[in-house]
Amino acid sequence: MRNVIVTGGSRGLGLAIARRLSSTGYRVIAIARKQNPELTTAMQDAEGSNPGSFHFVPFDLAETDNISCLVRQLRKDYGVIYGLVNNAGISFEGLLALMPAHQIEQLVRINVVSPIVLTKHVIRLMMADGGGRIVNLASIAAFTGYSGLSVYGATKASMIGFSRSLAREIGRVGININSVAPGFIETDMTKTLSDDMRQQVERRSALRRLAEGKDVANAVEFLLGDNARNITGTVITVDAGSTA
Ligand code: NAD
């Protein structure tokens, strides 16, 4: 089984992605701060149908100094790492003029610094092991302005810029890196967003509906698969046409 690390694989989009990958032949290593009942059920389901396909490793990605140790340990415990899905992320909605500095710093740390540091350590292994695939969870907030999401949008645009340049550094060693940019999807993260924010997104949807976690999982599965071998440095939006 090919090993794929899915950060934030304990709930929401990360769990939808982890479920999909564990049921389609991958061994998922989900990383998140803590277990929850939804994750336990998903792992039990996976154990029933595809034994050994879903593992959980508790880790706080804010601790960027410990990420190199984590990656070394994962390589030792699971073997070659084929894929990395940088999904873990946080969001605070708020007007920039009123946003406390600690929230700005936390958004940048979790949404930008942690995935970049994790990617750095994982690509070192992938280079030695003959290649791999990386998928970053961006957001349509990287392309479309939403009042209240300026800092969040900045972090997501950062990951797209990061992927485009890194694709040119690591393509020659057989590593593809792409981003998936979801629109508004019902998860714990979006529960905290205001009705006004949700209406802004729905109004802009060409298909007049919201995308779902399974749609995002489809895109991630595609980018990890053999059919995407000549796709790198790009972005797939999964937003029911909000940015169309
Ligand atoms: P969520 O809040 O439901 O889940 C976030 C996950 O990240 C959880 O598993 C959480 O444990 C993990 N996480 C957060 N901080 C962490 C840390 N310090 N260490 C380890 N794990 C940590 O969010 P979601 O809606 O599933 O979003 C997943 C990704 O998709 C995020 O990057 C988000 O920005 C992006 N996204 C979501 C939407 C949406 O509408 N839900 C839209 C566009 C992009």
Distance in Å, CA 11 to ligand 1 centroid? 8
* Residues forming beta bridges with residue 29, ordered by sequence position: 5, 55
Is the interface score ipTM higher than 0.90?
yes
Give domain status of residue 21, yes or no.
yes
The amino acid at residue 12 is: G
Tokens of 91: 């969001």
C-beta of 3 in contact with ligand 1 (< 6 A): no
Give domain status of residue 151, yes or no.
yes
Give domain status of residue 243, yes or no.
no
Give domain status of residue 76, yes or no.
yes
Q: Which domain holds residue 126?
A: 2-238
Distance in Å, CA 12 to ligand 1 centroid? 7
- Sheet with strand 2-7: strands edge to edge: 54-58, 26-32, 2-7, 81-86, 132-137, 175-182, 235-238
Atom of ligand 1 nearest to the CA of 152: 34
Atom of ligand 1 nearest to the CA of 8: 9
Give domain status of residue 244, yes or no.
no
- pTM exceeds 0.80 for this model: yes
**pLDDT tens-place string over residues 145-166:** 889 999 999 999 999 999 999 9
CATH number at 167 reads 3.40.50.720
Q: How far apart are CA 124 and CA 66, in angstroms?
A: 16
**pLDDT tens-place string over residues 182-231:** 999 989 888 877 788 778 777 888 998 889 999 999 999 999 999 999 99
User: Known catalytic residues?
Assistant: 152
Q: How many domains does the chain have?
A: 1
Distance in Å, CA 164 to ligand 1 centroid? 22
